[in-house]
Amino acid sequence: MFELKVKTHFAAAHKLTMVGQKCENLHGHNWNIEVYVAGDKLNSAGVLVDFGDIKKCIREIMTDLDHKYLNELEAFESIQPSSERIAIYIAEKLQSSLKALNETVRVSRVSAWESSDSCATYIPDHVLQKQV
């Protein structure tokens, strides 16, 4: 199996309820995002998928999040925009975009760093099932 990683970032504000006093106030983060995609076969050029193609897909997702108040986005209307849910959001959007590029490439994990020492990582079920 091959795994590729692409790093990106975005800045946004949010507020979370029921997690602690500081987080319940409106506040912002400069999130650093690590996206991993995996697959078993290389294409005819000898790569899993072109890094430029992955970066293009990720840029489109970052445009939806960057410099926004996340609580007001449709994706987070009924759920809190925690780092965990941001990682899920990015993974699902990216997986949808990747299908058009290469049916066999899958998002293997996404980490959303809200600070230099705190992150949440989402690992899709298909990855966990493959490991069992």
Count Cβ atoms below 10 Å from residue 119 Cβ, excluding itself.
Answer: 18
What six digits make up the tokens of 18? Answer: 């029921």
In degrees, to the nearest 5, what angle opens at C-alpha 127 toward C-alphas 122 and 128?
A: 85
Q: Is 23 a catalytic residue?
A: yes
Catalytic: which of 23, 34, 84, 92? Answer: 23
3-state secondary structure of 51: helix
Smallest CA-to-CA distance from 70 within 94, 87, 55 is with 87
Catalytic: which of 9, 24, 27, 67? Answer: 67
Catalytic: which of 14, 29, 57, 114? Answer: 114
What six digits make up the tokens of 101? Answer: 């590029």
Q: Is 114 a catalytic residue?
A: yes
Q: Is 119 a catalytic residue?
A: no
Answer for the pair 58, 31: CB distance below 8 angstroms, yes or no. no
Q: Which residues are annotated as catalytic? A: 23, 67, 114
